[in-house]
Amino acid sequence: MLSPRGARPHDATAPAAPSFSSSSPRHRHRAGMDAGRVAEWEAGLPAASELTPVSHPLITPALAAAFRINIGGGAFAAASPFDDSPLAHDSPTSHLSFPCDDEDEEEEEEVEEVGEGEGETEDAASGSFGACRGAGRAGKKARMVWTPELHHRFVEAVAYLGDKGAVPKAIVRLMNVEGLTRENVASHLQKYRIYLKRTRNPAATQHPQPFPTAYGSSF
């Protein structure tokens, strides 16, 4: 037996990382019980069974409204090469970047750090986004971090397209997120499908889980 893909020459790259890497404001995500926030993506799920809109009357107002995600405080440029997305009509629905983690070192997670009981009412979920790679181009494919907002957008796009039309390409096109590639969506789509399958038939399996996202989403 031959295993062709046994060894993979990994590019040891570590080229440059000079850019701004001085202060990295870590966002403290509080796993509070924001049921409202959680219900957000839950509401975007195809509760019923028929979610296959055979007719595509273009973008619906509901979707457009649902897509109205917080648009950060203009930290990024705004020149989009393509602007032919149906969603990118005139609403601030484009310019979404995903934060990424740098550092190659394997560092343990930081210890818990509780403030002095300061009120954290303001949620950071819809706050500022840290653009990681955008203009700067480096042979570094940072691990994509699917933020709840990004995931929500993804879910909305899938729900709109339907199970039969939810193709990575269409989703990417609808999301219109710069930096988001088809592979990224395809990968996530797989996970999303598995998640749906898992929740649909919890037979002989653990209890239903919300969504195995790396974010606070506990019910």
Exposure class string for 186-208: b at 16+ Cβ within 10 A, else e: eebbeebeebeeeeeeeeeeeee
Determine the size of the site formed for DNA (CB under 7 A): 29
Q: How far apart are CA 46 and CA 49, in angstroms?
A: 7
Name which of 64 and 186 has its Cβ closer to DNA: 186
Residue 105: CB atoms within 10 A of its CB come to: 5
Question: Does 153 engage in binding with DNA (CB under 7 A)?
Answer: no
Range in contact with DNA (rule: CB under 7 A) among 22-30, 35-43, 57-65, 136-144: 136-144
User: Can you tell me which of 59, 167, 196, 199 binds DNA, judged by CB under 7 A?
Assistant: 167
Name which of 91 and 190 has its Cβ closer to DNA: 190
Q: For residue 140, what are its two tokens?
A: 């570094």
Residues 213, 188: contact at Cβ < 8 Å?
no
Question: Does 27 engage in binding with DNA (CB under 7 A)?
Answer: no
Residues in contact with DNA by the rule CB under 7 A: 4-5, 8, 10, 104, 141-146, 166-170, 182-184, 186-191, 193, 212-214
